[in-house]
Amino acid sequence: MEALRQIPPVNDVLRSPQLAEFRHILTQPFAIAIISSVFSDVRRELTESANGGSRSELTAKIATEVARRLRESLQPSLRRLINASGVVLHTNLGRAPLPEGAIDHLRAVSAGYSNLEFDIEQGQRGKRDVHVGRTLQQLLACEAAVVVNNNAAAVLLVLNTLGEGGEVIVSRGEQVEIGESFRIPDIMARSGARLREVGSTNRTRISDYEAAIGDNTRLLLRVHPSNFRMIGFTERPSLEEFAGLGRHRNIPTYEDLGSGCVTETESIGTADEPSAIDSIRAGVDIISFSGDKLLGGPQAGIIAGKKFYVEKVRQNPLFRALRVDKLTIAVLEYVLRAYLRGELDAIPAWKMLRAPETELKTRAETFAQRLGPAAKAIALKSVVGGGSAPGTYVPSWGVALDFPGLGVSEIEERLRRSNPPVIARVEDGHVILDFRTIFPAEEGELLCILQHLA
């Protein structure tokens, strides 16, 4: 076709001013692939429509598109966004936001060198566990603690260490599944342990555990349901009964706490979220929980309890494959010390969860006034999220949006595609912005986005 003759030589495109800033990378494989893709798209367009313009116009068009795709490829995929959903520990949005002080500490110890595995006092090689291990011992009143990359890894590691080749007894009602098909029976199979289920779906007594104990019993397991609640005609042994049976029969006890809280939860409207401190105090031999849920820190799996069992876990060859790096250790250490200092509001997730309803109402009403008729302040209910405190709703305030000429789905999409993206929720036929999860410092930016929305 005649139109195809107007396609410029590749070198003409590469010498165009639109690509000047990328000239030093144009020979890299990913850039060559982008250039080839753009030329292919132009050929296809010209085949379908002969009206492609002059050669100079095509040169500029191709170069502009190549530049756009290169710029897009060079931008980080992971980016900041505004969480207006009201879900504090939003799994899809990175769960717990990290304290500014933790980021400062991270920068200080990671921009150069650190004593990650060096004992300064002794002048010799040390262990990276000590930086958070000592703090966890103080916080949980436990004998020892180690950290791996998430709680799923912690569960696998503990089961493999203490249960491999034998039976692990667990209640039928605790064979749970959490996000991304993480199922306790599947993890147990991978660990090399054999599942021995006891009780019924809704009722398991301590006598059920005791009756199942045999020569091949290696471990007694207790699992926190995390993302659901079982109510009504139910029964579950107390922590003291569970730990006491283990001591009596000389079998280690292990509790997978899931989100792992280390402070009171009455202030957020729930009193039944299990506490890691209570489990240790009750005598459970070893526990594990997440670092990026109710703890409010980085992704991590914390394993704590009696020194004998924690050391056995640490000596497992899998431990090295699952251990954390200096970045996680730096942030986690800061968060743990914030608890020791009693500075709960230094942890963003907890500051959000404990924000007074009156404060959120004032913020929402002020914001709605600034935006104008498109926003109306309304009472809402937030959730903790991250599989923590299921069924618990925290009173909150936010704004409902109503832009003339724009439907709900279009408003939601425009917010999601803004810069930065704004993740809202749709409720009762309106796009809702919940101020419990919006940082005060983000309000000006959010207002600007909304003013340019229509």
Tens digit of pLDDT for each residue in 368-399?
999 999 999 999 999 998 766 666 789 999 99
Q: First CA to last CA across the chain, in angstroms? A: 43
pLDDT reported for residue 210: 94
**What tokens appear for 225 in the block?**
């349901």
Instruction: Give the number of C-alpha atoms closer than 13 A to the C-alpha of residue 355, restricted to the C-beta side.
Output: 28
pLDDT reported for residue 385: 84
Task: Tell me the pLDDT band of 229, cut-offs 50, 70 and 90.
Answer: low
pLDDT greater than 90 at residue 418: yes
Report the helix count and the strand count for the chain, using DSSP H and E.
17, 18
DSSP annotation of 449 reads H
Instruction: Give the residue with greater pLDDT, 215 vs 174.
Output: 215
The 10s digit of each residue's pLDDT in 116-136 is 999 999 999 999 999 999 999
DSSP annotation of 99 reads P
Task: Tell me the pLDDT band of 353, cut-offs 50, 70 and 90.
Answer: very high
Max intra-chain CA distance, the chain: 90
CA 106, 107, 110, 116 dihedral sign is negative
**What tokens appear for 405 in the block?**
């000429």
Domain boundaries, the chain: 2-74, 82-90+350-451, 99-346
Instruction: Give the residue with greater pLDDT, 364 vs 228.
Output: 364
Give CATH for domain 99-346: 3.40.640.10
pLDDT reported for residue 134: 94
What is the arithmetic mean of pLDDT over 230-242?
81
On whether the CB atoms of residues 284 and 242 are closer than 8 A, the answer is yes
**From the CB of residue 418, how many other CB atoms can be counted at a distance below 10 Å?**
18
What is the arithmetic mean of pLDDT over 218-222?
95
pLDDT reported for residue 181: 63
Mean per-residue pLDDT over the chain, rounded: 91
Angstrom CA distances, 60 to 12, 15, 53, 57, 437, stand at 10, 11, 11, 5, 44
Highest mean pLDDT among 186-190, 259-263, 433-437: 433-437
On whether the CB atoms of residues 443 and 367 are closer than 8 A, the answer is yes
DSSP annotation of 8 reads P
**What tokens appear for 429 in the block?**
């036929």
At residue 330, φ and ψ (nearest 5 deg) are -60, -45
Task: Tell me the pLDDT band of 311, cut-offs 50, 70 and 90.
Answer: very high
On whether the CB atoms of residues 262 and 293 are closer than 8 A, the answer is no
Lowest mean pLDDT among 23-37, 193-207, 302-316, 436-450: 193-207
Written as one letter, the residue type at 112 is G
d(C-alpha 287, C-alpha 52), whole Å? 67
Task: Tell me the pLDDT band of 179, cut-offs 50, 70 and 90.
Answer: low
d(C-alpha 221, C-alpha 83), whole Å? 36
The class (CATH top level) of 82-90+350-451 is: alpha beta
The 10s digit of each residue's pLDDT in 4-25 is 778 889 999 999 999 999 999 9
pLDDT reported for residue 387: 66
The 10s digit of each residue's pLDDT in 28-45 is 999 999 999 999 999 998
Q: What angle do CA 109, 110, 114 make, to 5 degrees?
A: 50
Contacts of 289 (CB under 8 A, 6+ apart): 151, 154, 256, 257, 258, 259, 260, 276, 295, 301, 302
d(C-alpha 397, C-alpha 358), whole Å? 9
pLDDT reported for residue 228: 60
Angstrom CA distances, 116 to 127, 262, 292, stand at 7, 25, 21
In the block, tokens 């000596």 appear at 315
Q: 398: which strand partners? A: 378, 434
d(C-alpha 291, C-alpha 306), whole Å? 20
What is the arithmetic mean of pLDDT over 71-88?
96
pLDDT greater than 80 at residue 242: yes
Q: Whole-model pTM?
A: 0.90
Q: Where are the beta strands (DSSP E) in 215-353?
A: 217-223, 253-256, 286-290, 301-305
Contacts of 113 (CB under 8 A, 6+ apart): none
DSSP annotation of 235 reads B
At residue 107, φ and ψ (nearest 5 deg) are -65, -40
DSSP annotation of 440 reads G
Helix (H, G, I), strand (E, B) or coil at 381: strand
pLDDT reported for residue 50: 63
Nearest to 238 by CA among 278, 196, 270: 278
pLDDT reported for residue 110: 95
**What tokens appear for 291 in the block?**
């670092």
